[in-house]
Structure 1
């Protein structure tokens, strides 16, 4: 559900029309404006910053990813299924396997481009490119302990 600032302002006016002071109405409007103006500048957890553009991803994979039809079909199917759920207990995890130059990073970049407004530069994205030394300790030290758990429900963790 997308909420627009105008509807929130209207709710405040209706709520405070009972007889509260002009100061409380002004403070509520100021808080509402503060939230929306900061979310225009700084990345937030809402549809403006995380559009989850499944059709754009589908088009990009069809147009640019060659020879990986099965992978594209599975990725799109998994993302659609994940989006249908209103409450998600567990994150959706992709593990892309293949030879060097097979398109794993290329595919991950398409997912990022269509899922986050800032793509790979989003503060909700972590990318690690490692060949070995990728253990549970590495994940704990470099991912979870740096705030990877608490910021946002839809993070993206890429490993190559």
Structure 2
């Protein structure tokens, strides 16, 4: 099958009949216009308007949009909001980062870790989690067998090398880190280190995000201590949790980062704690979900759904033991 004519030739063929009746000057103008249009059609700007392209150096996340998304979708997490906003915008605005941005998000289920990874993906790539430059790994799905760790390590290195070769600003999200086989994550250690290049490829503009329930008990203890001492949760600072969290995760066999060189070599930039959610935060989640569905806000429904959630400690009933994780299914029922 013959290949289709190039754009300029195609345009000239379309203009051919009309051109026979035109003066030479007019024909010249038509050819010039066709040539200019062809150049525009083949330009990256035109191409990227219809197909996803890897962001260039001038394409940076909008800090204002990122803050707005965090404010609208993340509740009760003043620490996570502050760290994520500063870390992502600071990294994106650095023309020459010395290493990839590496974030480790910790906390019980339903506290907002997945929301944050989605928000970051949305702000770095137009397609968000659907982008071909955003890669989600689930421990139980992609790395299920402990006797195949060597194979998984090889595959993981090839996946990261190939994807960063295609787009320097690739985003890699590792969910269920607490279910990851110990030692497996160390396979990506070279990509997170301070190397300018590895085999001709620079990994310095990539983003790596780890999601884990590990450390949730440590975070809850600190948050509960603040509550018992009559101190607001907003008084909790990163310095109150980050050192305890990094040590606790490093010494936890079920963290996925157990004795990991990523911690030992200080290659994780931020350990981000997600605090357990209180009753008022659960109600915020319910309202947001109702509005996201386009339904009118009914406070009686909000109260009913919130009252069906379970809280701990059993006597005080302060924190939701599932965060906002079951809000959607309970709303479906009501």
TM > 0.5: yes
Q: Deviations over 1:52-96 (max 9, x none)?
A: 122111112122211211011011111122123112342212121
Q: Does residue 94 in structure 1 map to residue 108 in structure 2?
A: no
Distance 1:57 1:156 in 2: 16
- 1:156 is aligned to 171
SS in 1 for 2:115: helix
Q: Which moved more, 1:107-116 or 1:139-148?
A: 139-148
Count, aligned residues: 137
The answer to whether the Cα contact below 8 Å between 1:51 and 1:117 also exists between their aligned partners in 2 is no
Change (3 A) 1:136 1:88: farther
Change (3 A) 1:136 1:117: farther
Query: How do residues 24-43 of structure 1 correspond to structure 2 at under 5 angstroms?
Result: 30-35=38-43, 36-43=45-52
Return the TM-score normalized by structure 1: 0.69
* Structure whose CA Rg is larger: 2
Q: Does residue 121 in structure 1 map to residue 135 in structure 2?
A: no
Structure 1: which 5+ runs fail to align?
1-21
The answer to whether the Cα contact below 8 Å between 1:91 and 1:154 also exists between their aligned partners in 2 is no
Distance 1:140 1:95 in 2: 23
SS in 2 for 1:46: coil
Return the TM-score normalized by structure 2: 0.36
Structure 2: which 5+ runs fail to align?
1-28, 176-334
Distance 1:145 1:152 in 2: 12
Distance 2:174 2:150 in 1: 13
SS in 2 for 1:96: strand
Kindly state the Cα deviation for residue 108 of structure 1 after the two structures are TM-superposed: 0.7
SS in 2 for 1:43: coil
Query: How do residues 3-152 of structure 1 correspond to structure 2 at under 5 angstroms?
Result: 30-35=38-43, 36-46=45-55, 52-130=61-139, 133=143, 138=152, 140-142=154-156, 144-145=158-159, 147-152=162-167
Change (3 A) 1:65 1:149: same
Change (3 A) 1:131 1:99: farther
The answer to whether the Cα contact below 8 Å between 2:55 and 2:125 also exists between their aligned partners in 1 is no
Change (3 A) 1:140 1:154: farther
Distance 1:142 1:27 in 2: 45
